[in-house]
Structure 1
Amino acid sequence: MRLQMHAVKFTADQSLLDFIQAKLNKLDTFHDRIIGAEVFLRLEGADSNKVKEKVVEVRLTIPGKELFVKEHDKSFESATDRVLDVLKDKLVRCKEKRSDFSSPAITEAKSRVQEDEVFEPDEL
């Protein structure tokens, strides 16, 4: 997975960047076709002298879709954990939808519906 991190209007510590990268690398276990991720770290309320909250935004790219999650918290680490929980759920749902089309039960049901729709001229 290609990962880009951006700290907006501040310099992020290398340990924070390593923490986020390690957490995002674990997402490969939930979806095997992740193309890349883009992370934005922001300080909310940075205009004044006191920073109120820290914001983590993640844009995750998978084939055919782009997932976006934004979370606020007191620290970047806890916001990252909250973002990952939401992304895990979204990735699992996307993968289930993708695999539903190739499941044997759906393929069999589709073939049965198509067979039932064939009308003989005598029946009309």
Structure 2
Amino acid sequence: MNVQIQTLHFDADSKLIDHVSRKIQKLDTFYDRIVSVEVYLKLDNIAHQIKDKIAGIKVHIPQHDFFIKHESKSFEESFNLAFDALVNQLKRTKERKFQVKS
């Protein structure tokens, strides 16, 4: 699995990168045919807006791509919300493929 983490409009600290990397490595437990994962962490520069930290996760599996995006007050929260939604989609996709084969 090829993993890429990109930050836009800021420099991420090692704690945030480690958090993202640890979570992404767990994706193999939910779906074992993941080809690549791209994580986008973006600081939205709109003034006076509370929800200004955006996390997006793009996952490529054979014959399909997923993209989940969430925004909140912190990058960790945004990433965790996006990650949880992505896990749910991967599980549903795996269940559908299993049902089709049965």
TM-score (norm 2): 0.91
The number of aligned residues is 101
Distance (Å, rounded) in 1 between the aligned partners of 2:19 and 2:55: 13
Shift of the 51–17 alpha-carbon distance from structure 1 to 2, 3 Å rule, reads farther
Report how far residue 47 of structure 1 moved: 5.4
Give, in whole Å, the separation in 2 of the partners of 1:4 and 1:29: 19
Distance across 2 between alignment mates of 1:56 and 1:88: 15
Runs of 4+ aligned structure 1 residues displaced above 2 Å come to none
RCO higher in structure (CA 8 A, sep ≥6) = 2
Q: CA deviation at 1:51?
A: 6.9
Q: TM-score, normalised by structure 1?
A: 0.76
* Contact 2:60/2:66, CA 8 A, preserved across alignment: yes
> Sequence identity of aligned pairs in percent?
36
Q: Aligned to 2:54, what secondary structure does the other structure show?
A: strand
1:91 deviates by 0.1
Question: Which structure 1 segments of 5+ residues have no match?
Answer: 104-124
Q: The residue matched to 2:90 in structure 1 has which SS?
A: helix
Matches within 5 A, 1:1-124: 1-44=1-44, 46=45, 48=47, 52=50, 53-103=52-102
* Rg larger in structure: 1
CA contact (8 A) 2:57 2:83 kept: no
How much has 1:80 moved relative to structure 2?
A: 1.1
Does the residue aligned with 1:101 lie in a helix, a strand or coil? helix
Deviation at 1:57, TM superposition (A): 0.6
Distance 1:33 1:68 in 2: 16
